């Protein structure tokens, strides 16, 4: 089977594609309350353009696609896009990362279109706190959405939780307990300095070491192997149906096993979340680039993938970074 490697020998087989920069929430760690300036509709990649790029990527050896945003379920005809991507030779797995609000409506049709799994971002299990963190979201929609996703077979459902000190870190134990009575994969993700603002300046991030310690104080946890685990390290409580994941962009350099390429919704290939270096594939396509030329641009962005980042270095500045909703988290 074909595969493609970067300069540091990492196999690149995974592409995260932002399909919209719009969102129906304004999470405090991701967006300012007034939202961010939107990219004009004409600059957003069309379905056919995304499919053309993914076809070239699959030819190079990329196998897994994750659609994200903004909120991917806000994109018109998302099922149609998923259907065309899942028909591409070589693409084995398509997932989405979503806030889950619209899953209730779309889970069955997405599954029928070829979607394999969902990651749901959920940072509180409490109605009021959820509303505050998301600036207006109704948690009942998320729970109903996860229920529909489960019924539609989009398994395993992964919950992404970002503990932020003084905001929701008191719920770390509650999220961990969820795995003792549900099959969910609960993944704790270290808060990253994208849209850094006040929360980052106040050092509100909670590091994996502390999260793990607090989780293990409930009961011993043991490492487990999970297929397609990506950057997460997985554990479970004895006899628990669910799994605990830890994703540590700050403290644990998952860079050494990074297998991904990103594409923004306006068609910029981005080798790393923390570097502003981009390769403009949209302009190439709109100027009539051949598949060969697109492959060349994909290879180029893989070649320039940096070895890693130094997020916790105090002299590192993040002011230049685009909002997460635009890059695609
Ligand atoms: N709207 C969808 C959602 O919320 O799942 C997809 C886009 S969102 C940008 C993708 C993921 O990025 C979410 O799991 C979110 O929690 C995460 N995220 C956003 N800002 C982050 C930050 N500063 N640090 C860590 N993760 C972040
Ligand atoms: Fe929207 Fe997702 Fe960002 Fe929340 S984390 S504001 S749901 S893009």
Q: Is the pLDDT of residue 326 over 60?
A: yes
pLDDT at 33 over 90: no
Q: Which of 35-39, 80-84, 199-203, 257-261 has the highest mean pLDDT?
A: 80-84
Q: Relative to the alpha carbon of 322, which ligand is closest?
A: 1
CATH superfamily of the domain spanning 14-327: Aldolase class I (3.20.20.70)
DSSP lists the bridge partners of residue 188 as: 161, 246
| DSSP H or E stretch at residue 269 | strand 268-270
Q: Which whole number is the average pLDDT over 81-90?
A: 97
Q: State how far the Cα of 265 lies from the Cα of 187, in Å rounded to an integer.
A: 25
The closest of 98, 104, 141, 140 to 121, measured between CA atoms, is 98
Sign of CA dihedral 232, 188, 249, 20: positive
pLDDT for residue 317: 54
Which residues make Cβ contacts (< 8 Å) with residue 8, sequence separation at least 6? 256, 305, 307
Query: pLDDT tens digit string along 132-150?
Result: 999 999 999 999 999 999 9
Ligand 2 mean position, distance from CA 71 (Å): 6
How many whole angstroms from 30 Cα to the centroid of ligand 1?
A: 7
* Rg (alpha carbons) of the chain, rounded to whole number: 19
pLDDT value at position 253? 66
Phi-psi category of 239—alpha, beta or left, where left has phi over 0 and alpha has psi -120 to 50? left
In the reported structure, the alpha carbon of residue 1 is separated from the centroid of ligand 1 by a whole-number distance in angstroms of 32
Q: Given the structure tokens 């390769």, which residue do they identify?
A: 279
Lowest model confidence (mean pLDDT) among 12-16, 216-220, 311-315: 311-315
Ligand 2 pocket (Cβ < 6 Å) reads 23, 25-27, 30-31, 69-71, 99, 121, 324-325
Q: Is pTM beyond 0.85 here?
A: yes
Give the residue extent of every domain in the chain. 14-327
Ligand nearest to the CA of 18: 1
d(CA 63, CA 54): 9
Confirm or reject: Cβ of 162 under 6 Å from ligand 1: yes
Ligand 2: atom nearest CA of 325 is 8
């Amino acid at each position: 089977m074909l595969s493609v490697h970067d300069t540091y020998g990492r196999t690149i087989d995974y592409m995260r594609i932002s399909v919209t920069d719009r969102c129906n929430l304004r999470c405090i760690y991701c967006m300012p309350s007034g939202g961010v300036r939107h990219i004009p509709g004409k600059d957003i990649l069309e379905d056919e353009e995304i499919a053309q790029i993914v076809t070239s990527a699959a030819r190079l050896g990329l196998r897994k696609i994750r659609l994200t945003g903004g909120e991917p379920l806000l994109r018109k005809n998302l099922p149609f896009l998923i259907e065309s991507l899942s028909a591409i030779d070589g693409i084995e797995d398509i997932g989405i990362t979503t806030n889950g609000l619209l899953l209730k409506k779309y889970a069955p049709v997405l599954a029928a279109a070829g979607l394999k799994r969902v990651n749901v971002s959920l940072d509180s299990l409490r109605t009021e706190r959820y509303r505050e963190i998301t600036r207006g979201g109704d948690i009942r929609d998320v729970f109903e959405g996860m229920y529909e996703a489960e019924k539609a077979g989009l398994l395993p459902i992964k919950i992404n939780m970002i503990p932020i000190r003084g905001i929701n870190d008191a719920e770390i134990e509650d999220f961990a307990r969820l795995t003792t009575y549900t099959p969910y994969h609960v993944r704790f993700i270290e808060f990253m300095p994208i849209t850094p603002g006040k929360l980052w300046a106040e050092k509100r991030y909670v590091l994996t070491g502390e999260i793990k310690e607090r989780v293990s104080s409930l009961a011993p946890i043991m490492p487990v192997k999970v297929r397609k685990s990506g950057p997460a390290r997985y554990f479970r409580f004895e006899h628990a149906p669910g799994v605990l994941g830890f994703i540590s962009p700050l403290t644990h350099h998952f860079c050494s096993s990074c297998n991904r390429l990103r594409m923004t919704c306006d068609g910029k290939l981005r080798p790393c979340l923390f570097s502003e270096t981009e390769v403009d594939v949209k302009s190439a396509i709109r100027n009539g680039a051949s598949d060969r030329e697109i492959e060349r641009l994909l290879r180029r962005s893989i070649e320039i993938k940096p070895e890693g980042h130094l997020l916790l270095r105090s002299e590192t500045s993040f002011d230049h970074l685009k909002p997460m909703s635009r890059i695609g988290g």
